[in-house]
Amino acid sequence: MYSKRQSKMENSDTEQDVVIKFMKGPLFTLIIDKAVERQTVQLLKKVTKLEEDIKLLREFNVDVIKLLCIEKEIAINLREIDLSFYDRFIKKCHDVHFKTKSKPSLDVIEEPKAKPKIVSVIEIKRFVMDCLLKIGVQNEKAKTFTNALVTADTRGITSHGLNRLEHYINHIKDNVCNPNADPTIMFESESTAVVCGNNGLGVVVSMFCVNLAIKKAEKTGIAMVVANGSNHFGINSYYTAYAADHGFIGLAFTNTSPIMVPTGAKQACFGTNPLSIAASAVNSDGVVIDFATTTVALGKIEVFKRKNQKIPIGWAFDEDGNLTDDAAVGVKVKRLTPVGGTESHKGTCLAIMVEILSGLLANSAYGPHIPVWGVKPFKLANIGHGFIVIDPRKFTPGFDKRLGDLLGYVRKLEPIDPKKPVEVPGDFERRAMKKIDDQGGIEYPESILNMIEKLVKDLGVKAPKFKS
Ligand SMILES: NC(=O)c1ccc[n+]([C@@H]2O[C@H](COP(=O)([O-])OP(=O)(O)OC[C@H]3O[C@@H](n4cnc5c(N)ncnc54)[C@H](O)[C@@H]3O)[C@@H](O)[C@H]2O)c1
């Protein structure tokens, strides 16, 4: 990891020519050449003051993991650095400690990327279960949560699978969420219910709600169950596809932390407020519509940030209200555009619709009153969800045939690009599932592998056994 090094300096503090080298990796490593004289090490120690004081790096909003001091090498492993970090660090070095005529120069090199690795679905579930049990989650609840989380990855929705595991674990460890709380019914009629999640796991609360809605819809043909006092529930389609697998049409809505800037506004007010509808058709076919009402889910920008990739212009704003292509800025500032972009009002309309069908009906927190997820100090979320379950058999016969016919028709439309057949919502996920079956497991990129390694160390759980 520390093999490529290069740094120069003259002997005195005043006439140095310092190259500060960072290695961009899963952990960002500041490298000083082994051959460099003691002074550089001392200077950088002074700059970072890590041994007595990590304030300077805190100023950069950097999570300092560790300082390694091996012989004359010094390596500061940092993570979650936003892209302007290097420049600001160098300027600070210059302003504070280097009495040079010119600023130290900067060299950022890419660490060779580790290859993605494949792990079987059973094994990754075992790993997630072990993590949850280790932090005190009861077995049944851990199982329910694990199934939902890993299902996101098996369906190719990588923004909401293992990518999010650390967030959930941190919330549980910080006692922000009570993972062992049972949801309770506050009010119910034949076809409706209001559930209190008692600050439990969003997935546990939501499975309770959707099962209750199915039970009611079996009798009444349609039922709606809403929940308050809940937490982040992962992917909406976990619940709607579950209802569809039981022969119903399922709809799911949730409000989320306010990070969407409504059309024409400067501040964020709504969450990514995702919605989903799923229904089964004949011949094991079906449709699963599931998306955020922002242009993209925040998790997708997190994936770009982890990969150090730029995001397309149009997804997120920077601090000054300008559109940005910097994924790190997108994640940090948390101001996303509504679906349809800045020139359309339709995303804003959909976000309000989702609020009506989740937070407002359930009397949970709503809109700007929801705390931002994953930002310390963590606060109680009091998220609201809504689930509608419809029994198509209680309407007109043959719904599944007509749906199958419609989906088939759409798929057979002549594509613009012959190599890209027209798909219906749910086909992408089906392709992802087939790929995982064919390759014998889920492929995780370096960023997730590092997170897994960190959890193995932090929690003392057994590392997953990888296939490759
Ligand atoms: N719980 C939360 O707080 C929260 C917040 C935001 C998003 N999410 C989840 O994040 C996930 C991703 O959201 P997103 O907005 O990035 O979704 P997305 O933009 O990737 O859209 C996904 C939907 O589009 C369909 N689709 C994909 N390609 C298609 C094509 N060529 N033709 C027709 N349909 C196609 C998919 O089948 C799926 O229904 C969702 O599962 C959502 O529930 C959760």
Atom 31 (ligand 1) nearest CA: 423
Q: Report CA(104)–ligand 1 centroid distance (Å).
A: 45
C-alpha separations of 354 from 106, 315, 388 in Å: 48, 20, 12
Atom 25 (ligand 1) nearest CA: 425
- For range 191-198, the mean pLDDT: 98
Q: Report CA(31)–ligand 1 centroid distance (Å).
A: 40
Report the nearest atom of ligand 1 relative to the CA of 288.
39
- Among 291, 364, 382, residue to substitute to test ligand 1 (most atoms within 8 Å of Cβ): 291
Percent of the chain with pLDDT strictly greater than 90: 66
Ligand 1 binding site (Cβ under 6 Å of any ligand atom): 157, 159-160, 232-237, 254, 256, 272, 274, 276, 288-292, 296-297, 299-300, 423-426, 428-429
The whole-number pLDDT of residue 356 equals 98
Q: Report CA(149)–ligand 1 centroid distance (Å).
A: 15
Candidate from 44-58, 111-125, 137-151, 254-268 with smallest mean pLDDT: 44-58
Q: Give residue 10's pLDDT band: very low, low, confident or very high (50, 70, 90).
A: very low
Percent of the chain with pLDDT strictly greater than 70: 75
- For range 101-128, the mean pLDDT: 77
pLDDT per residue over 127-167, tens digit each? 999 999 999 999 999 999 999 999 999 999 999 999 999 99
- For range 405-419, the mean pLDDT: 97
Atom 34 (ligand 1) nearest CA: 425
CATH: 3.30.70, 3.10.450, 3.30.450, 3.90.550. Which one for 19-110? 3.30.70
- Among 167, 171, 428, 434, residue to substitute to test ligand 1 (most atoms within 8 Å of Cβ): 428
Rounded to a whole number, what is the largest CA-CA distance in the chain? 88
The whole-number pLDDT of residue 308 equals 79
H or E element at residue 78 = strand 73-79
Query: Cβ contacts of residue 178 below 8 Å, gap of 6+?
Result: 198, 199, 200
Candidate from 165-179, 217-231, 292-306 with smallest mean pLDDT: 292-306
pLDDT at residue 365 greater than cutoff 90: yes
pLDDT per residue over 307-333, tens digit each? 778 999 999 999 888 999 999 999 999
- For range 449-468, the mean pLDDT: 93
H or E element at residue 390 = strand 383-390
pTM of the model: 0.80
The whole-number pLDDT of residue 468 equals 66
Alpha helices in 155-232 (DSSP H): 165-173, 202-220
Atom 14 (ligand 1) nearest CA: 291
The whole-number pLDDT of residue 372 equals 81
Q: Report CA(139)–ligand 1 centroid distance (Å).
A: 30
- For range 159-176, the mean pLDDT: 93
Give dist(CA 418, CA 345) in Å, integer: 33
